[in-house]
Amino acid sequence: MLNVDEQLHLIKRNTAEVIPEDELARKIKRKGSLIIKFGVDPTTPDIHLGHSVILLKLRTLQDLGHKVVLLIGDFTARVGDPTGRVKARKPLTVKQIRENAKTYREQAFKILDPSKTRIDYNSRWLGKMNFSQVLKLTSRYTVARMLERDDFSLRYRENIPIGLHEFLYPLMQAYDSVALRADVEIGGTDQKFNLLLGRYIQKSYRQSPQVIITMPILEGLDGKEKMSKSLGNYIGVTEPPSEMYGKIMSIPDELIFRYFRLLTLLPESEIERLEKSFKEGKLHPKKAKKMLAFELVRFYYSEEEAKYQDERFERVFSKKEVPPELVSYPVNTDKIWVVELLRLTGLARSGSEARRLIQQGGVKWDGERIREIDRIIFLRGEHILQVGKKKFLKVVKR
RNA sequence: GGGGAGGUGCCAGAGUGGCCAAAUGGGGCGGGCUGUAAACCCGUUGGCAUUGCCUACGAUGGUUCGAAUCCAUCCCUCCCCA
């Protein structure tokens, strides 16, 4: 095992904050193996690269011999984390929560080491608390301090409703740290308030307070907003390799090395070397992006798959060839109206949208641009239907 | 409990009786340029349909030749006072 300083160096890399740093060193020296808490909200089951930033850090911690507790917030999910929220969340059913948690677990193990991960559910203790225990917990904190949070104060100022139960969320998840006797809690920078509250509550329950590690929030593919499913600017860890590769190729240049650092486990020295030649103009941005895309597909799939995607990308987008493997769509007639076909295949959501796409020159049939709305298409064998630059479909007569 | 403000398209936000499928901006989508980058430019953005029609401005009724716009009731939110 590495010594404490070496460990700290690896742990601190790419973090936003470690609070307080010296305490982390002391804890490692004293206990050796620490309990790392990571709270998971089972409301959004699909893990994307934004989440992977933290999971990769956890992976590093596991590799250093620490124990990760993946805490599924099945009970807190009934309230919903108000963090960054402009509206109150709608509560989920118990069944949905359970399914989401299962999906989350499966996906998280694409990154985490299952043998060094313990999974727990906070309903185990929160579900048993009675009202007097709740009163004890809530009396530890004040409304004024709760309102210090940006999200709450913003909503308060903007006259947007705040449910009383939303005040309970931070306290509940803080109590989780007490229940787990967490040494360290990790989360995104947007969780800083919650994590700090965990520290505070642990102290008031006479526990040694956890060290908190916050990780930067990853920008999405647009380079502006944070990566999130609802904004559609994300790459899911279960996405097919071609999607993963392609989406990486569409990120803005400014993001390339940030992604390298936060999304891969490549050594810092290697990344610095690449960044240097990029800045000197020796490494073309497209090349750098391809390396990034390659690395991510390699990590989530395999080296072989990554190589394949590398070639495929060149063929399809640089040389404008049709992708080698396409989703087939069987059709039963031998002639069909274009608009109908587009709607049938789902490449257009409605007839009106289909018309629009045609009028704007976004539809190709076997490589030929279709301009007439009333065009009738004749089918024999296999044909390629293309909408926009990225959407292809193999239409098969049968 | 009393008084006041407000609920418009994916979002923000105009519109206070016909010219409103609803200005403008953002986002999305399509095209151009390119490195499937950014920036930029052009177009488009409820649905169905070859004129046109249907559904839409919190909900339900009503006034009117005609309502997002007026009236009534209800639901929801916020502010001030208690």
A231-CA/B60-C1' distance, Å: 35
The pLDDT of residue A156: 77
CA-CA distance, A325 to A318, in Å (whole number)? 17
CATH 3.10.290.10 domain position(s) in chain A: 328-397
CATH 1.10.240.10 domain residues, chain A: 241-318
Tokens of A23: 């305490």
Strand B, nucleotides < 7 Å from a protein CB: these are 27-32, 35-38, 43-49, 77-79
As a rounded value in angstroms, the CA-to-C1' distance for A85 and B7 is: 20
Q: What strands lie across the sheet with A184-188, from one edge to the other?
A: A17-19, A211-215, A184-188, A35-40, A67-72, A117-121
CA–CA distance, A208 with A67 (Å, rounded to integer): 17
CATH superfamily of A4-215: HUPs (3.40.50.620)
CA/C1' separation A364–B30 (Å): 12
C-alpha A328/C-alpha A324 separation (Å) is 12
CA A159 to C1' B7, in angstroms, rounded, equals: 13
The residue count of chain A comes to: 398
Contacts of A268 (CB under 8 A, 6+ apart): A13, A261
Tokens of A20: 């307080």
* CATH class of the domain whose range is A241-318: mainly alpha
Burial of A24 (0-12, 13-18, 19+ CB in 10 A): buried
pLDDT on residue A124: 92
From-to residues of CATH 3.40.50.620 in chain A: 4-215
Tell me what pLDDT residue A163 has.
79
Q: How far, in Å, CA of A9 to CA of A3, rounded?
A: 10
A318 touches strand B (CB under 7 A): yes
Q: With a cut of 70, list the residues of chain A below it in pLDDT.
A: 1, 44, 80-92, 159
CATH topology of domain A328-397: 3.10.290
Answer yes or no: are the C-beta atoms of A198 and A212 closer than 8 Å.
yes
Cα–chain-centroid distance for residue A305?
A: 22
Q: Any atom of strand B under 7 A from CB of A352?
A: yes
Quick one: pLDDT at residue A54? 93
Bridge partners (DSSP) of residue A336 are A377
| Residue A168 pLDDT | 86
